[in-house]
Copies of this chain bind each other. A is one copy, B any other.
Amino acid sequence: MLEKVEELMVKHIESLKDSKSLELFGKVPSGKRLRAKLILKIASSSDEAIKLASIVELIHAASLLHDDVIDDALTRRGVASINSTFGNKTAIMLGDILYSKGFSELTSLPQDVAYSISSAVTQLSIGELLDVELSSTFNEDLDAYFDMIYKKTASLIEASAFSAALLAKKDAKRYGIYGKNLGLAFQIIDDILDITQSQEVLGKPALNDFKEGKTTLPYLYMYNDLNDKEKEQLRSYFKKELSEEESMWIKKKMAQTNAINRSIEYAKKLGFEALEMIKEENSPELEKIIKEMIVREF
C-alpha cells in the first residue's frame, strides 16, 4: 500500500507540469514514511486514506526541507540535503511547493480532516520557531522543551492519527492521543540517539544537538542533578565545538545522573500510554509501531 502512496506523491508533483520541481522532488530522500504507515494502519487502504497519507508525507517532506535550512544541515538521512546541494533558496521554495500542493489536495478531503492537518502545520512551524528561540540561550525549562517537541514533532503525527480515524469512522480522540504520545516518544528517542549513537550510525556528528544549543531531555535531566560548579561547566560548553575530553565529560555526567535511562523510561511511559489508548481497538500493527520504537538498542 505504501507503494501506492509513493506513486500518488509523484503524481501530485507531476500534475504541476514543472520539470524543475519534479527533478528536485526526486532528490528528496523518502525516509521511513512513519506518518503514511500510521494512516494506512488506522484507516486501512481506502482511496481517501492513501490520498491523506500522500498529502501528509508531502507536508512532512516540506517541513524537513525548511528544517534543514533552519539547522544548516548538510545531510538528511545520510545523504546530502537539498539545501546543501542546491542552496537555501531552492530548499525554501521546494518546501513551499510541497506544502501548498499538499494543502490544495487536502481541499478534496473532508473539511475536519483538512482543518486538522493544516492546523497541525501551524503548530509545527510555531514549534520550529520555539526550537530556534530555546536554543538561542541555554534552556533549562523542562516544560518549554515538552511544549516545543509537542508542536514541532508530535502535532502532525497526532493530526495524522486523528484524521485517519475520522476517515475510518473510528474514535478520533483516542487515536489522536495515541498519535500525540507516539510523536513525543519518537522525538525523545531521536534526542537520546543523538547522544548514544556513533557518528557512523547517525550520519551526522554525535552530540550535534547540544552543539546547536539544544538542551534535549537527557541534558535537562542531567543539568538538574549537577552541582553549581558542574552546571557552570556544562553551560561553558554551550554551542561550542566540543573536544574529545569535553564530550567524554558530558557522557560521564549523563551516566552518573542516569539521565539517558530516565529519558528512555519517560519515552517508554509515553509509549505505554499510547498503547493504553488503543488497547480495545485490537490492532496488533499499531501496537507494533510503538513496541518497535521503545524496545530497541539505545
Q: Which residues from chain A sit less than 8 Å from chain B, CB to CB?
A: 16, 18, 20-21, 63, 66, 69-70, 88-90, 92-94, 96-97, 99-101, 103-104, 106-108, 111, 114-115, 118-119, 121-122, 124-126, 128-130, 132-133
- Bound together, the chains give a CA A30 to CA B119 distance in angstroms of 24
> Measured between C-beta atoms, what is the minimum distance from A137 to chain B in Å?
14
Residues of B with C-beta under 8 A to A93: 66, 70, 125-126, 128-129, 132
- CB-based contact A20/B115 at 8 Å: no
B115 touches A107 (CB 8 A): yes
Q: Does B97 contact A100, Cβ atoms closer than 8 Å?
A: no
Interface on chain A toward B: helix, strand, loop, or mixed SS?
helix
A81 to chain B, nearest CB (A): 15
Contact A100 B129 (CB under 8 A): no
A21 to B93, CA, bound (A): 21
CB-defined contacts of A118 to chain B, threshold 8 Å = 100, 103-104, 106-107
Cα–Cα, bound, A216→B70 (Å)? 31
A168 to chain B, nearest CB (A): 20
Of chain B, the residue at the smallest CB distance from A96 is: B125
Chain B residues, Cβ within 8 Å of A97: 122, 125-126, 129
